[in-house]
Amino acid sequence: MAKERKIKCDCGSYLQPKNAAFGHFETEAMVCPKCGFTTLTREQAEKFVALKQMHQAIDMERKIIKIGNSIGFTLPEGLQELGAKVGKKVKLEALNENSFKVKLIG
Ligand SMILES: [Zn+2]
């Protein structure tokens, strides 16, 4: 892991990386263990924005349709901006008995 610069809080403690909730999302932030002050580094802020975009693009219902001899479903249009392009490889992984994840690879 990259060496992070220590950020000193106004209260005198040092901020530590920790998962924090921002609205509906949980993301890694820098949190003061003493007073609870929370901030994001530039890198964490960029990750958070990408996470938010992904949530906005993907949180919706889809119906399984027939495609040739296979079945499938269409992907939300907004996902194209996030790298889900025609020809892109995806990997499917089971999460539990009724859900699976689709990971963009390559
Ligand atoms: Zn503090």
CA of 40 to the centre of ligand 1 (A): 14
Residue 38 lies in domain: 16-58
- How close is the Cα of 29 to the center of ligand 1, in Å? 14
For residue 21, list its beta bridge partners.
26
Q: Do 54 and 79 belong together in one domain? A: no
* Predicted TM-score of the model (pTM): 0.65
Same domain, 52 and 86: no
pLDDT one-digit tens code per residue, 50-104: 889 888 888 889 999 999 999 999 998 888 888 899 999 999 999 999 999 999 9
Q: What's the CA-to-centroid distance between 13 and ligand 1, angstroms? A: 5
91 in any annotated domain: yes
Do both 86 and 52 map to the same domain?
A: no
Tokens 């999460």 correspond to: 95
- Decide the pairing of beta strands 25-31 and 89-96: unpaired
Q: Are residues 25 and 53 in the same domain?
A: yes
Residue 8 covered by a domain: no
Total domain count, the chain: 2
